Amino acid sequence: MEANKCVGILTSGGDAPGMNAAIRAVTRAAIYNGFEVKGIMRGYRGLITDEIIPFQTQNVSNIIQQGGTILKTARCEEFRTPEGRKTAYDNIVKHGITSLVVIGGDGSLSGANIFAQEHDIPIVGLPGTIDNDLGGTDATIGYDTALNTIMEAVDKLRDTASSHERLFFVEVMGHTAGYLALNGAIATGSEAAIIPEMDTEVDQLAELISQGFRKSKNSAIVIVAENPRTGGAMGLAERVKKEFPQYDARVTILGHIQRGGSPSAQDRILASRMGAMAIQAIMEGQRNVMIGIQNNELVYVPFSRAVRHNKSINRDYVNLVKILSM
């Protein structure tokens, strides 16, 4: 490896548990392979405002267990403009950065894709998002932890739902994808999952009510993916009030607790493997790829495929929720 190789690391968009484990892995794998490392604060905004600091191995000590991101993250409208991206590139050159590792979700990787097309800088992405909505990867960093958070919250709600004989709508994150809702429903034994991938096919609420979920049960929990297409939990509760007034519906929106907390073992391992692989990819001359995982093997996924939003839901899982909620 040439002596002047320098990798910049940034986290962008919504934070996800395991981002720190990824930062740690990228930093240490880079140093191990003779790279200099620069930490870029506050995502793409830090590239524009020149918040770039040298990173040593001690910068990432004792962070693997921490949620959030030590590099911070911020939205950045300026980076959406060619002028903003030019300023960012000038700062990269000024600091001698020869490659970038971007940890984030679809917005972050879309930004990286545009940036790499305009300026000559190899970029490798790591899928850091609780939504698990990126193409070409079975899992994203933070998804497993968020799923565990949902499971713990719903287990507690189950106690009160059964005491009061109520229909509980629990809204979870997911952006445009129903992975958290669907797998959350399986993990918690919920009666249904209402997800955006299914909304054009059936009226999911009417189907749930018509199947008479109360046949043998005195309460029901329905996991709802936040999305204008599903109406969200509040929209569904309003509909129940109007169309099915015999049911006492309640809403719980889990919100940002899903993004927090110490990452699970699975997320720490995934982030560590992907972080080390990002440096491997740079050394191999890869550019404009995201590190994905398929059947437990790490793979390179072109940015254009990763952000395409055509990842499909497993229909067997949808059927499983139905079968097991009888």
At 191-248, the pLDDT tens digits run 889 998 876 555 777 777 777 655 556 678 999 999 887 788 999 899 888 888 888 8
The whole-number pLDDT of residue 1 equals 42
**Per-residue model confidence as pLDDT tens digits over 55-86:** 999 999 999 999 999 999 988 999 999 999 99
Question: Kindly report the CA angle at 150 between 301 and 23, in degrees rounded to 5?
Answer: 40
Domain 6-142+263-306 has CATH 3.80.10.10: no
- C-alpha pair distances (Å), 250 with each of 45, 97, 160: 40, 52, 11
pLDDT of residue 223: 95
Predicted local confidence at residue 3, as pLDDT: 53
Angstrom distance (rounded) from CA 48 to CA 76: 9
Is residue 223 within 8 A of residue 95, CB to CB? The reply is: no
Q: In the predicted model, is pLDDT for residue 103 greater than 60?
A: yes
**β-bridge partners, 249:** 167
Buried b (16+ CB within 10 A) or exposed e, 229-252: ebbbbebbbebbeeeeeebebbbb
Q: What is the pLDDT of residue 244?
A: 83
Give the pLDDT mean for 128-135. Answer: 95
Indicate whether 117 pLDDT > 60.
yes
Catalytic residue numbers read: 131
The structure tokens 């794998």 sit at 29
Beta bridge partners of 298: 293
pLDDT band at 144 (very low <50, low <70, confident <90, very high): very high
- Given this model, what pLDDT does residue 220 score? 85
Contact in structure between 192 and 273 (CB atoms under 8 Å): no
pLDDT at 160: 82
Annotated domain spans of the chain: 6-142+263-306, 144-259
**Which tens digit of pLDDT belongs to each residue from 152-184?**
999 999 888 777 777 899 999 987 889 999 999
- Its pTM stands at 0.94
Q: Where is pLDDT greater, at 237 or 3?
A: 237
312 pLDDT band (50/70/90 cuts)?
confident
Q: Rounded CA gap, 96 and 166, in Å?
A: 60
Mean pLDDT of 285-310: 94
Confidence bin at 273 (pLDDT 50/70/90): very high
DSSP state of 128: B
How much is the pLDDT for 215?
A: 54
In this chain, the answer to whether the domains covering 6-142+263-306 and 144-259 adopt an identical fold is yes
What pLDDT score was predicted for residue 2?
52
CATH of 144-259, one of 3.40.50.2000, 3.40.1350.10, 3.55.50.30, 3.40.50.460: 3.40.50.460
- Structure confidence at residue 233 (pLDDT): 92
The pLDDT assigned to 260 comes to: 94
Mean pLDDT score across all residues of the chain: 91
